[in-house]
């Protein structure tokens, strides 16, 4: 199909990268956000929580890449349901959703919202693709930037498999121009490493000295994290390591992280 590819959450850390790759490949793109700029023919103001702007955003679209997210489980589910309803009405031929590795294994509230959104899409009747990825380098960098404000840097006593957002954007752009594929293989970063090890790498990159302490927390969710339920070691990519990401980050001390909405 020749219609534009819609990217929700186009102002976010992932949405921006997906748009850049699609535009670079010469694909027509329509970017949506609640904070869309007033200028630019490819921008559409769309509020996923109310549905405002979604018909205009999805009209004649060849695919929708749903990158918008929030830290609220209920908001994510409402947004996905609203998008599905409009996508059905506009006869969207391909709905592509980015989720998180382990949402079906880790009983964490935010993950449960992602899993519920996946199930809504699977049961929607729309042709779809769902990609799960591990945590972005950007997210861990922001987490460590916050915890490094204290003299003792406390981090969860679990492992992470951080992935470069550019690698995830590459895969999403590839999937967006292809046929709907259902659940595809997870995508993880190149290394599984203890959070304490990654925290020390962060401190070295930002030229700071802190004591680093791994903290164990109670509960089923933390137990599942400790067991590696959020990892994808069998699907590691060849992207940047955490140190390589930090070396190329313009402000590694920044606490900002914009997922996009």
DSSP structure string for 111-161: HHHHHHHHHHHHTSSS-EEEEEE--BHHHHHHHHHHHTTSSEEEEESSEE-
Q: Is 124 in contact with 95 (CB distance < 8 Å)?
A: yes
User: Do the domain assignments include residue 45?
Assistant: yes
CATH value at residue 198: 3.40.50.720
pLDDT score recorded for residue 249: 86
User: Do the domain assignments include residue 261?
Assistant: no
pLDDT score recorded for residue 179: 97
Q: Is 14 in contact with 67 (CB distance < 8 Å)?
A: yes
User: Do the domain assignments include residue 122?
Assistant: yes
User: Do the domain assignments include residue 252?
Assistant: no
pLDDT score recorded for residue 39: 54
DSSP annotation of 218 reads -
User: Do the domain assignments include residue 156?
Assistant: yes
pLDDT score recorded for residue 93: 96
Strands 152-156 and 159-160: unpaired
Residue labelled with tokens 């929700």? 8
Quote the domain boundaries for residue 128: 5-247
The tally of domains found in the chain comes to: 1
As a whole number of angstroms, the distance between CA 229 and CA 211 comes to 27
Longest CA span, the chain:
56
Taking 50 as the pLDDT cut, the residues of the chain under it are none
Helix, strand, or coil (residue 71): coil
pLDDT score recorded for residue 165: 97
DSSP annotation of 3 reads S
As a whole number of angstroms, the distance between CA 146 and CA 256 comes to 9
User: Do the domain assignments include residue 178?
Assistant: yes
User: Do the domain assignments include residue 40?
Assistant: yes
Q: Is 163 in contact with 189 (CB distance < 8 Å)?
A: yes
pLDDT score recorded for residue 37: 64
User: Do the domain assignments include residue 255?
Assistant: no
pLDDT score recorded for residue 38: 53
Residue labelled with tokens 């922001």? 142
């Amino acid at each position: 199909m020749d219609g534009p590819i819609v990217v929700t959450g186009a102002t976010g850390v992932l949405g921006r990268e997906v748009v850049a790759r699609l535009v670079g490949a010469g694909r027509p793109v329509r970017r949506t956000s609640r904070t869309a700029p007033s200028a630019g023919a490819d921008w559409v103001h769309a509020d996923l929580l109310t549905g405002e702007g979604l018909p205009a955003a999805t009209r004649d679209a060849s695919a929708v890449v749903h990158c918008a997210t929030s830290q609220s489980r209920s908001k994510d589910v409402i947004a996905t349901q609203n998008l599905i309803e409009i996508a059905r009405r506009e006869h969207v031929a391909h709905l592509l959703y980015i989720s998180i590795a382990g949402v079906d294994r880790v009983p964490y509230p935010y993950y449960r919202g992602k899993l519920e959104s996946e199930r809504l899409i699977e049961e929607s009747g729309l042709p779809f693709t769902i990609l799960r990825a591990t945590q972005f380098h950007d997210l861990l960098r922001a987490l460590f930037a916050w915890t490094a404000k204290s003299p003792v840097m406390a981090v969860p006593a679990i492992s992470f498999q951080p992935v470069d957002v550019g690698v995830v954007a590459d895969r999403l752009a590839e999937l967006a121009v292809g046929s709907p594929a259902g659940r595809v293989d997870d995508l993880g970063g190149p290394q599984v490493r203890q959070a304490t090890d990654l925290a020390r790498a962060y401190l070295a990159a930002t030229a700071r000295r802190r004591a680093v302490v791994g903290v164990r927390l109670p509960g089923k969710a933390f137990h599942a994290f400790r067991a590696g339920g959020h990892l994808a070691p069998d699907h590691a990519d060849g992207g940047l390591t955490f140190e390589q990401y930090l070396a190329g980050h313009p402000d590694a001390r920044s606490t900002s992280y914009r997922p996009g909405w």
